[in-house]
Every structure is written in structure tokens, then in C-alpha cells.
């Protein structure tokens, strides 16, 4: 009788243990098959950029997204185009802060930013600063210093006078908006080596507009028919009086390099480009252009998000972060 009772207890224990282990197995399977819910985002920031998505602005976006990921936050990209009114409504979106790359109309951008201030929404400016009684934090380059570096690159051997033109672009609105600072820096570096006024030209969003401009300049007599020109005519005899030309956009630099080859002007014109795109660096290797100015756009986006996060967590951040510039020449490729 005792043996039967012991056997029954043993079987009961085995069955209970089997049921318990089965439950544990099912619970473990349920655990590993159930997706882990994403952690709650800490912040949501909005970034307002020109609609142009060249390599410079793509770099800004990538840097901003990298910083947001590190902060377990999100950043959404919007248009700064005044016609779309997206920045105009930013104060009502409920985001934790905005990053603004002001467009060419400073008065409009300032009015929109002041509205954000009224709603106590933090804002950071990138690429182009706006003077204000209570300045917003700014992330970007010192355009006077960039002009000074360009001027140093423009010096010709033997002290030859430099006759220089700068081609600005709607594709790089921040540089165009601060063109006076750029030219002041160039003049400060060249001093008496600069002959005549700095000539100023401007291209539109078309990546081939620089090609059209150069063809008109160097095949169109004195350049007076250059449709994109802000300053028509050149000192001296015709367009070839220029011996140095500076570009402020990667796409313009690449298009201009090919045009110089087509027009057989390589070696007859000192060209300073912009950016580190493959086409730009290849033109430097081939000796078509002498150097290129590079702005670290990834760092601009990264520091902008970090600055907004600092405002949200501590209430303050640096008033200005100079991201600096690099110079690419044939010697450092």
C-alpha cells in the first residue's frame, strides 16, 4: 500500500514538474517573440532648410539625425521657403525646438523667429546669422575668416596682381547672404595685391548655370551679356582680364571645371572651388582647379541639435559655435 502511495506521489510530482517546465517554456517563447517596444523619445526638433538638397545640406541633415539618435530624440526636416509658410506655423507645432537656416530675406526670417520667441520656443540658427538685440545661438562658419582664407589661396606667385571674381549661388544661400563679409575677408588678405574691385556673379538652382555663366563670360566679349551677372564688365581687355575666379557651391565648381576644359582655359585661370565632392577633388588632382574650401556641414547639423538639447535641459548654450573650414589642395589629397 505504501509503495502504491509513494509511486502515486512520484508520478504526481513528475506531472507537476512537466507542467511547470512547459509553462516556463511557453513564457520564454512568448518573451523572445514579442517585439520590444521602442523607448519614448525625449525630444522632437524641427529643422527648416532651403529646398535645395545638395551635398552641403544633406550633410547638415545627416549630422542632425546622428545627434538626435544619440539623444534618443527625433528631428524632422521642413522647408524654409517663405511661400510654403512652414516656419510661419512652427510655433504651433508643439515641437521642443527649431533649427533654422535663414533664407535670403532676413527681415522675414527675423519676424518668424521673433514669433517663436514670443511662444518661448527655443531656436538655433545655422549657416547664416541674423543680427538681433537678443541674438539666437548660431552654428556655422565665420564668413569673414572664410574670405580671408580664400584671399590667402588667391595670392599669385611673384606678387602678380590678383583680378578676382566670386560666383555666389542660390544653392548656397548662407554664403550669398553674407557676401560682404566674404569679400571683406578676401580684401583684407590680399591688401594691395588685389587689383580693382571684386567682381560678383550669381548662379541659380540649376546645376549647369555655372557652365552657362562661364561660356557667356569667356565667349561673350566683355561679359556684359552674362545673364546671371550682378556686376557686368571686367577691368582691362575683355573677360580674360580676370585671373582668379572663386566658386561657393560644389555643383558650380564641378560644372565650371568641365567648362574650363571645354574652353581650353585650364592653366590660364586660377580657380578656387568649394566642397569635397568626388568631382571637385578629381579636378584638383588633374590640376584644373587649384584648391577647394570645405565646410563641415555634418558638424553644423550635429552641433545644432546638441545645442537645442542643451537649452532644453540646462536653459542655456553657447551663443556661437564656429565649425571652421578646411582647405583641399593637391598637396593634401
CB-CB neighbours of 245 under 10 Å: 24
Scan for cell 560682404, then name that residue: 180
> What percentage of the chain exceeds 90 in pLDDT?
53
Strands of the sheet with 320-322, listed across from one edge: 74-79, 44-49, 97-100, 123-126, 138-140, 320-322
Block residue for cell numbers 557686368? 232
* Candidate from 10-14, 146-150, 252-256 with smallest mean pLDDT: 10-14
Cα separations in angstroms, 195 against 179, 209, 218: 19, 27, 20
Specify which residues 262 forms β-bridges with: none
In Å, how far are 54, 142, 149, 301, 321 from 58, measured between CA atoms?
6, 21, 24, 10, 20
| Per-residue pLDDT band at 33 (split at 50, 70, 90) | very low
CA distance 84 to 265: 42
CATH of the domain spanning 143-295, picked from 3.30.420.40, 3.40.640.10, 3.80.30.20, 3.40.50.2300: 3.40.50.2300
The per-residue pLDDT for 13 is 59
pTM of the predicted protein model: 0.79
Q: Which three three-digit cell numbers place residue 21?
A: 517546465
**For residue 252, how many C-alpha atoms fall within 13 Å in the half-sphere facing its CB?**
28
Q: How confident is the model at residue 221 (pLDDT cuts 50, 70, 90)?
A: very low
Checking if the pLDDT of 100 tops 60, the result is: yes
State the burial class of residue 320 (Cβ atoms within 10 Å of its Cβ: 0-12, 13-18, 19+).
middle
CATH class of the 44-141+297-324 domain in this structure: alpha beta
Beta strands in 170-216 (DSSP E): 199-203
- pLDDT for residue 41 is more than 60: yes
Cα–Cα distance measured from residue 97 to residue 125, given in angstroms and rounded to the nearest whole number: 11
Q: Is 12 or 47 the better-scoring residue by pLDDT?
A: 47
Q: Where are the domains of the chain?
A: 44-141+297-324, 143-295
Which residues 6+ apart lie within 8 Å of 24 measured at CB? none
Round the average pLDDT of the chain to a whole number and report it.
83
pLDDT score at 326: 94
In 38-149, where do the E strands start and end?
A: 44-49, 74-79, 97-100, 123-126, 138-140
- Establish whether domains 44-141+297-324 and 143-295 are of one fold: yes
State residue 116's pLDDT score. 87
Q: Is the pLDDT of residue 30 over 50?
A: no
Cell of 25: 517554456
Instruction: Please state, as a whole number, how many other Cβ atoms lie within 10 Å of the Cβ of residue 119.
Output: 9
Does residue 166 surpass a pLDDT of 90? yes
What three-state secondary structure class fits 109?
Answer: helix
Angstrom CA distances, 173 to 85, 170, 250, 261, 325, stand at 18, 5, 13, 28, 17
Amino acid at each position: 500500500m505504501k509503495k502504491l502511495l509513494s509511486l502515486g506521489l512520484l508520478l504526481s510530482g513528475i506531472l507537476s514538474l512537466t507542467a511547470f517546465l512547459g509553462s516556463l517554456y511557453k513564457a520564454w517563447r512568448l518573451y523572445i517573440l514579442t517585439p520590444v517596444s521602442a523607448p519614448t523619445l525625449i525630444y522632437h526638433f524641427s529643422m527648416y532648410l532651403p529646398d535645395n538638397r545638395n551635398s552641403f545640406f544633406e550633410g547638415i541633415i545627416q549630422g542632425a539625425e546622428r545627434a538626435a539618435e544619440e539623444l534618443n530624440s527625433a528631428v524632422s526636416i521642413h522647408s524654409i521657403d517663405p511661400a510654403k509658410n512652414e516656419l510661419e506655423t512652427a510655433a504651433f507645432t508643439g515641437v521642443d525646438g527649431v533649427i533654422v537656416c535663414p533664407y535670403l530675406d532676413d527681415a522675414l526670417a527675423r519676424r518668424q523667429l521673433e514669433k517663436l520667441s514670443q511662444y518661448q520656443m527655443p531656436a538655433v540658427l545655422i549657416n547664416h546669422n541674423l543680427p538681433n538685440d537678443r541674438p539666437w545661438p548660431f552654428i556655422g562658419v565665420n564668413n569673414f575668416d572664410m574670405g580671408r582664407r580664400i584671399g590667402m589661396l588667391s595670392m599669385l606667385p611673384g606678387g602678380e596682381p590678383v583680378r578676382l571674381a566670386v560666383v555666389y549661388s542660390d544653392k548656397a544661400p548662407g554664403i550669398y547672404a553674407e557676401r560682404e563679409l566674404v569679400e571683406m575677408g578676401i580684401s583684407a588678405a590680399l591688401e594691395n595685391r588685389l587689383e580693382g574691385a571684386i567682381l560678383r556673379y550669381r548662379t541659380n538652382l540649376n546645376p549647369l548655370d555655372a557652365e552657362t555663366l562661364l561660356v557667356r563670360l569667356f565667349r561673350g566679349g566683355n561679359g556684359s551679356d552674362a545673364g546671371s551677372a550682378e556686376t557686368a564688365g571686367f577691368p582691362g581687355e575683355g573677360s580674360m582680364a580676370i585671373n582668379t575666379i572663386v566658386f561657393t557651391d560644389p555643383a558650380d565648381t564641378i560644372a565650371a571645371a568641365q567648362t574650363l576644359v571645354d574652353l581650353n582655359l585650364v592653366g590660364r585661370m586660377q580657380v578656387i572651388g568649394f566642397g569635397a565632392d568626388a568631382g571637385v577633388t578629381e579636378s584638383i588632382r588633374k590640376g584644373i582647379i587649384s584648391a577647394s574650401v570645405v565646410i563641415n556641414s555634418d558638424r553644423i547639423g550635429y552641433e545644432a541639435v546638441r545645442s537645442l538639447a542643451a537649452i532644453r535641459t540646462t536653459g542655456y548654450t553657447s551663443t556661437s559655435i564656429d565649425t571652421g573650414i578646411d582647405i583641399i589642395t593637391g598637396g593634401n589629397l
